[in-house]
Structure 1
Amino acid sequence: MAEVEGARSAQPVIVGVVPGQPADVVKQAAIFASRFGTELVCAYVNPARYPVEEAADGSVESASLDPDFADDHETVFDESLARTLRDLLATTAVPWRTLALAGDVAGALGHLAETLDAAMIVVGAHDHSLGGSLREFFSRSVGAQLAHRQPRPIVIVPVSHRAASEPGRGTDS
């Protein structure tokens, strides 16, 4: 879904997006895309699904890990998240689009970056709450996983405590 008209360019910037993440993550990714003169690809990965088929543009068809709770609505990009992205990127001239992916978050973002020959992957940092620290300890952050697997640059945008406490802003990507 290209929100700003323009041909897709080589080596886009990929940003991992989730509902409630701080706006700074997407804004910083848009700055990189603008400076590189390239497209911004906003990718949401649903870990409760697995990829079945992949297209050349990076989009995937997916299926639910639990067939008892299969929901076709989960195969499309969340409209509420898309609205948030439209609002955040409305003042930029960066061409951008959304993709709904499936599977392991770091694996899916890394595979997308390989498929699109991305310039970089941008993700947000985890929160520093006790719950966030325990989660990161047991599962490592997406940024750390990408840094260990990827041949391309990974940019981890820090989440400030001030930004995380502002209304309507989350702390995790």
Structure 2
Amino acid sequence: MSGNEIAGRGGILAAVVPGQPVAVLEEAARLADDLDVPLVCANVDPDRYVVSSYVDGTVVALPYDPDLPETEEKRFDPDLEAHIRRVLDGRGIPYSLQQLAGDPAWCLARLADDMNARYIVVGTREAGLRGSVREFFNGSIAVHLAHRQHRPVIVVPLNPIPGTQSFPWEDPPV
């Protein structure tokens, strides 16, 4: 089944990134299997914006940063693709891969509209000060999605903090 056939059937949209724990992909696959719908795995390059896109999933993108090379054809990251195939092949779930460029929340919401997704599955950010500061300034993709589009957003916890510990952005106890 081609990516276009899958996208036209609705289904589950999973946001995937290199180095992401397998839990997001596994939960999205489980949900797609439970609902008997296809899964679309989307990776977003936030440092570029789309100039044009092709049926095979390739996008031509320009950088926001003028010091980066001009146009670049972005194909799905081969290492990420191999990782996804290792997790999903043999499960009997139809899936496709989509490479996007731009603001992650906006790109995911638009793809969800295009494919008539039932749910969008994302992971939490990395724990620690660096991840918390980045999330503070950029905002959580899950929060942006929850407020800027109408589909349910499923957030898979990747590194939950035990109830006795404070959040990384909280002041330490005095």
TM bucket by the smaller chain? 0.7 to 0.9
Taking only the aligned residue pairs, the percentage that are identical comes to 39
Q: State TM-score, norm by structure 2.
A: 0.80
Any conservation in 2 of the 1:63–1:70 contact (CA below 8 Å)?
A: no
| Counterpart in the other structure of 1:111 | 110
Confirm or deny: 8 A CA contact 1:30 1:94 kept in the other structure.
Answer: yes
The structure 1 segments of at least 4 consecutive aligned residues displaced by more than 6 Å after TM superposition are none
1:16 and 2:12 correspond: no
Cα distance in 2, alignment partners of residues 58 and 74 from structure 1:
12
- Structure 2 equivalent of residue 97 of structure 1: 96
C-alpha root-mean-square deviation of aligned residues, in Å?
A: 2.5
Give the structure 2 partner of residue 167 of structure 1.
none
Local SS of the residue matching 1:18: coil
Q: Hey, what does 1:171 align to over in structure 2?
A: none
- Which deviates the most, 83-92 or 20-29? 83-92
Secondary structure of 1:69's counterpart equals coil
Q: Distance in 2 between matches of 1:38 and 1:32?
A: 8
Question: Structure 1: where are the runs of 5+ without partners?
Answer: 163-173
Please identify which structure carries the higher helix content: 1
Relative to structure 1, the CA distance from residue 72 to residue 33 in structure 2 (aligned partners, 3 Å threshold; closer, same or farther) is farther
Partner of 2:159: 160
Residue of structure 1 in register with 2:165 after alignment:
none
Say which SS state the counterpart of residue 158 (structure 2) adopts: coil
1:61 corresponds, among 59, 62, 69, to: 59
Report SS of the residue matched to 1:28. Answer: helix
Greater radius of gyration (CA): 2
Normalised to the residue count of structure 1, the TM-score between the two structures is 0.81
Closer/same/farther in 2, CA of residues 71 and 78 from structure 1, 3 Å limit: farther
Task: Read off the aligned partner of 2:62 and give its amino acid letter.
Answer: S
For residue 138 of structure 1, report the CA deviation from its aligned partner.
Answer: 1.5
Displacement of 1:129:
0.7
Spell out the pairing of 1:1-173 with structure 2 (5 A cutoff). 8=6, 10-54=9-53, 59=57, 61-65=59-63, 66=65, 69-70=68-69, 75-160=74-159
Which amino acid in 1 is paired with 2:159? S
